[in-house]
Amino acid sequence: MKMNKPISHHLTDQDLLDYSTGKLEESFALAAAVHVSVCDQCRATLDSFDAIGGTVLENSSHQEMSQGSFDKTMALISALPSTKVTRKEPSNLPDALAGYIGKSLDDIKWTPIGMGVKQKILHTGDTGTARMLYIPAGTAVPDHGHKGREWTLVLQGAFFDETGHFGPGDIEIADPTVEHTPTAAAGDACICLAVTDAPLRFSGILHRLVQPLLRI
Amino acid sequence: MTLLDTRLRRIEASPCGQVCDSRGISVAHKEDGVLDKTPNDKWVALIRRINRDKDVSAFEVLFDHFAPRVKSFLMKSGADNTMAEECAQEVMATVWQKSHLFDPTRASASTWIFTIARNKKIDALRKLKRPEPDELSWGAEHEPDQEDVISLQQETQRLGAALSELPQKQRDLLEQAFFHEKSHSEIAQDTGLPLGTIKSRIRLALDKLRHSMS
């Protein structure tokens, strides 16, 4: 992920709190993990929420462990494979994303969805949908609104819409009230991670017909 | 800047004085040349011994303190006794296995163990994966700067003190927000408080904690 300029679109404190407490669905947690990997400001906020979680844990009540639990834990440990500290192979992508798409954006097997736009649905275990989107420079994604939330995180290139300009690392948080037409900026094709907790609502009749087929 | 940074702004060393934890664990613990001013430093030294020496007695002290808290956390999140017991053992086994990843300049022991327990909760109770941000760790050879370690552990100490000074109602809601598998609207249903009140109370509690650190 090439970061040309500072990140200017962030997660909200509430989103980071939900991520810290483990309340985000897997697809949204994926987007949060990728954003935090490259955004020091959100990482600091997340660390502070985790610290509060730790303090709450420290000061909370105890539940007595059963007899022999320590020995059982030692037995678990001896059954664990030994973890060697290995140097990670260099990757341009945050680990969280590499777990879903492979080491590089070049590894993605895209499916064309029209007008040069391509997508790849990621397999998350929740009810939301996470997908990678490839939008050629200058191309607009059809005007759409949302029944639920949609987060769009830029990995390469940039896009702009009615609400602003989004470059690598930036995340757009769109709630059901937002109707927008994201357009890839000139230069590199724009590659994003888009997560939704409800299908997108495209305005045109044709798109409404094909939408179930594309799962977006 | 690392540490708790922009939110819990770095505080100048204040006379944190003689602090004991709720169970009165001694603060005058000296080990590994770590300056032990707070109980947190003791945990840091213990995890270091687990990593470096595979020291079972160090692990047992850590286990006795944290396993019952982790088990309680898991039961509040909806696990029954058997499941919480098993998961708490697995969490503590992970603590042993991943002790080389603990970075005392970024987290206290309780914070680090909280994150492992939370991930276990998501995995075991919700059956979901937990995508994690990239580690900032500098690798195994990296020796943490003692000043950063002490400053982080002192911040943690102060955070704990600030938490115990919160009004009971706010502390309860904060615990629910972190521990219970409930959304704000479910907490609202349970407590009969309007959703807006829940949200603003949690925000108020967090703000107070932050201000107490600045």
Segments making up each domain of chain B, as ranges: 22-129+145-165, 168-214
CB-CB neighbors (< 8 A) of A25 in chain B: 128
According to the model, what pLDDT value does residue A74 have? 97
Please indicate whether residue A64 or residue B175 has the higher confidence score (pLDDT).
A64
CB-CB neighbors (< 8 A) of A24 in chain B: none
Strand partners, A111: A119
According to the model, what pLDDT value does residue A29 have? 95
Q: Are A182 and A140 in contact (CB under 8 A)?
A: yes
In CATH, which of 3.50.50.60, 1.20.950.20, 1.10.1740.10, 3.40.50.1220 is domain B22-129+145-165? Answer: 1.10.1740.10
Question: In terms of DSSP bridges, do strands A183-184 and A159-161 run parallel, antiparallel, or are they unpaired?
Answer: antiparallel
Chain B: closest CA distance from residue A80 (Å)? 8
CB-CB neighbors (< 8 A) of B140 in chain A: 85
A84 and chain B in contact, CB less than 8 A: no
Chain A residue whose CA is closest to B125: A22
- Residue B194 neighbours by CB under 8 Å, 6+ apart: B188
What value does the mean pLDDT take over residues B9-18? 31
Rounded to an integer, what distance in angstroms lies between the CA atom of residue A71 and that of residue A208?
59
According to the model, what pLDDT value does residue B178 have? 82
Residue numbers of B between 153 and 192 with CB closer than 8 Å to A: 155-156, 159-160, 163-164, 174-175, 177-179, 183
What value does the mean pLDDT take over residues A16-33? 93
What value does the mean pLDDT take over residues A25-44? 94
Rounded to an integer, what distance in angstroms lies between the CA atom of residue B70 and that of residue B62?
12
pLDDT at B112 over 60: yes
CB-CB neighbors (< 8 A) of A171 in chain B: none
What value does the mean pLDDT take over residues A137-145? 80
Chain B: closest CA distance from residue A173 (Å)? 19
Residue numbers of B between 18 and 37 with CB closer than 8 Å to A: 21-22
What value does the mean pLDDT take over residues A197-203? 62
Average pLDDT, chain A: 86
Q: Which of B84, B114, B178 sits opposite A63 (nearest CB)?
A: B84
According to the model, what pLDDT value does residue B114 have? 96
Q: Which of A41, A62, A80 sits opposite B93 (nearest CB)?
A: A80
Strand partners, A153: A171, A193
Chain B residue whose CA is closest to A37: B133
B90 and chain A in contact, CB less than 8 A: yes
A123 and chain B in contact, CB less than 8 A: no
pLDDT per residue as tens digits for the range A107-128: 899 999 888 999 999 988 877 8
pLDDT per residue as tens digits for the range B24-37: 333 334 444 444 45
CB-CB neighbors (< 8 A) of A88 in chain B: none
The pTM of this model reads 0.82
CB-CB neighbors (< 8 A) of B52 in chain A: none
Q: Which of B4, B21, B68 sits opposite A44 (nearest CB)?
A: B4
> Which of these, B20, B73, B38, lies nearest to B154 by C-alpha position?
B38
A:B CB pairs within 8 Å = 192
Which domains are delineated in chain A?
1-216 (2.60.120.10)
Rounded to an integer, what distance in angstroms lies between the CA atom of residue A184 and that of residue A168?
12
Give the DSSP per-residue string, A28-69.
Answer: HHHHHHHHHHH-HHHHHHHHHHHHHHHHHHHTS---PPPTTH
Alpha helices in chain B (DSSP H): 39-53, 56-76, 81-97, 109-125, 146-165, 168-179, 184-191, 195-212
According to the model, what pLDDT value does residue B37 have? 55
- Residue B42 neighbours by CB under 8 Å, 6+ apart: B25, B29, B31, B36
- Model confidence at A136, in pLDDT bands (50, 70, 90)? very high
Please indicate whether residue B8 or residue B153 has the higher confidence score (pLDDT).
B153
CB-CB neighbors (< 8 A) of A55 in chain B: 110-111, 156, 159-160, 163
CB-CB neighbors (< 8 A) of B132 in chain A: 33, 95-96
- Residue B63 tokens read as 């286990």
Q: How far apart are the first and last CA of chain A?
A: 25
Q: What are residue A176's phi and psi, to 5 degrees?
A: -60, -15
- Residue A14 tokens read as 């509430």
Chain A interface test: which of B10, B44, B111 (most A C-beta within 10 Å): B111
Q: Are A14 and A24 in contact (CB under 8 A)?
A: no
